[in-house]
């Protein structure tokens, strides 16, 4: 079973009006027929059939209260109010619930549910028939109206929160910003710790990252991150940050967004062909983390392949997410053992969640 720790499935279904039960090819064709314009349109890479084709049995699926529509003012992505963000996230949660009722997806909230899901997928024919398992995460905490509302979200199945996304959130500074948590942010972390929520440090500004690692003593992960030493940008993890995460038992998911893979990428201008971006570059970032760790047990996949872009901003050798399985032979050529490869492609995430999801 392959595991991807970051996909914005509901956001794609609702904000971009995609029927993810269709093949990638059908989604692309539909957008072309409708004349839908804009970044990432007509070149999508993710759907439920493509995930199944690639061997993905479990993903971390997000609630993402962000706007990315061609009819809006350029650059306007954040909701003007927290109730607006709250409503958007509740709507996305309703989509996941509907997909579960239709039998296409299965929400995983507890350790025993994960064990059962793994067992069902391991049966003969399981990968062909079982629903896609998902663990629910929130990317940017604006939908949480106040810290004590964490209890409500926990009761609805949320198991991971990343306090910030691009820019400032209501709780912390995120990508592209300088600074730490805002006053409600520390209470958010306390509420998360109290209920057992996992902290995703992805997108936290550097000072906010440092504060989170100091203030929060619960389980942490980095769902979709690459290495600053290879691509120098604040969105990436520095070696010091990587080492701190390794010390805390975190797993780091390698992202497939091209601008995070190679230096000097200009979003909206550079093409994968021009930059020569392939999964070899993903392997470079994975290998760097493994060298810092001294092993391959704390790095895996967090592709973000549906995060507002498509083939125009992904590796040349990824037409759909099913192609991610071809990362395995790339890493094998670099000398990784079969056990290492199993870990990177999914077992490392499974081990993390077996330990850090609640028992009941």
Percent of the chain with pLDDT over 70: 98
What CATH code is carried by the domain that includes residue 58?
3.20.20.140
What's the rounded mean pLDDT across residues 75-88?
Answer: 89
Q: Hey, what are 292's tokens?
A: 């810092």
The number of domains in the chain is 1
pLDDT over 90 at 68, yes or no: no
**302-341 pLDDT per residue, tens:** 999 999 999 999 999 999 999 999 999 999 999 999 999 9
Which pLDDT score is estimated for 73? Answer: 57
Rounded-to-integer distance, Cα 39 and Cα 59, Å: 24
Helix axis angle, 111-122 to 348-356, nearest 10°? 150
What's the rounded mean pLDDT across residues 179-186?
Answer: 97
Q: What is the pTM of this model?
A: 0.97
**30-45 pLDDT per residue, tens:** 999 999 888 899 999 9
What's the rounded mean pLDDT across residues 88-100?
Answer: 98
pLDDT over 90 at 78, yes or no: no
Residue 229, exposed/middle/buried by CB under 10 A (0-12, 13-18, 19+)? middle
Which pLDDT score is estimated for 77? Answer: 81
Which pLDDT score is estimated for 74? Answer: 57
Q: Which residue shows structure tokens 């996992």?
A: 198
**228-243 pLDDT per residue, tens:** 999 999 999 999 999 9
pLDDT band, very low/low/confident/very high, at 76 (cuts 50, 70, 90): low
Phi–psi pair at 243, nearest 5 degrees: -65, -40
**54-63 pLDDT per residue, tens:** 999 999 999 9
Q: Domain range for residue 57?
A: 2-356
pLDDT band, very low/low/confident/very high, at 67 (cuts 50, 70, 90): confident
Which pLDDT score is estimated for 39? Answer: 86
Could you tell me if 249 and 279 are in contact, meaning their C-beta atoms sit under 8 angstroms apart?
no
Which pLDDT score is estimated for 72? Answer: 59
Which pLDDT score is estimated for 322? Answer: 98
Average pLDDT, the chain: 96
Rounded-to-integer distance, Cα 131 and Cα 117, Å: 9
Which pLDDT score is estimated for 264? Answer: 93
Which pLDDT score is estimated for 37? Answer: 84
Which pLDDT score is estimated for 75? Answer: 60
């Amino acid at each position: 079973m392959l595991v991807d720790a970051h996909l914005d499935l509901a956001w794609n279904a609702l904000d971009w009006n995609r029927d993810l039960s269709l093949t990638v090819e059908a989604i692309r064709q539909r957008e072309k027929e409708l004349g839908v314009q804009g970044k990432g349109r007509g070149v999508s890479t993710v759907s439920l059939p493509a995930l199944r084709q690639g061997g993905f049995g479990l993903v971390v699926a997000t609630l993402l209260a962000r706007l990315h529509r061609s009819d809006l003012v350029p650059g306007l992505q954040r909701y003007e109010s927290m109730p607006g963000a709250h409503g958007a996230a509740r709507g996305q949660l309703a989509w996941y619930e509907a997909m579960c009722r239709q039998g296409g997806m299965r929400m995983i909230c507890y350790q025993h549910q994960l064990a059962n899901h793994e067992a069902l997928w391991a049966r003969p024919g399981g990968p062909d028939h079982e629903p896609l398992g998902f663990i629910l995460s929130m990317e940017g905490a604006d939908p949480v109206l106040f810290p004590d509302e964490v209890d409500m979200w926990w009761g609805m199945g949320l198991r991971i929160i990343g306090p910030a996304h691009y820019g400032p959130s209501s709780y912390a500074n995120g990508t592209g910003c300088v600074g730490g948590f805002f006053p409600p942010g520390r209470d958010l972390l306390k509420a998360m710790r109290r209920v057992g929520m996992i902290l995703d440090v992805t997108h936290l500004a550097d000072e906010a990252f440092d504060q989170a690692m100091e203030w929060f003593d619960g389980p942490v992960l980095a769902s979709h991150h690459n290495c600053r030493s290879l691509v120098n940008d604040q969105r990436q993890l520095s070696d010091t940050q990587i080492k701190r995460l390794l010390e805390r038992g975190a797993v780091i998911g390698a992202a497939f967004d091209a601008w995070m893979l190679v230096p000097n990428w200009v979003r909206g201008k550079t093409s994968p062909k021009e930059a020569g971006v392939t999964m070899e570059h993903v392997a470079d970032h994975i290998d760097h983390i493994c060298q810092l760790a001294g092993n391959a047990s704390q790095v895996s996949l967090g592709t973000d392949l549906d995060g507002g872009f498509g083939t125009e901003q992904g590796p040349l050798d990824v037409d759909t997410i099913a192609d991610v399985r071809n990362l395995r032979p790339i890493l094998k050529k670099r000398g990784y053992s079969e056990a290492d490869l199993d870990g990177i492609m999914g077992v490392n995430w499974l081990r993390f969640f077996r330990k850090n999801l609640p028992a009941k």
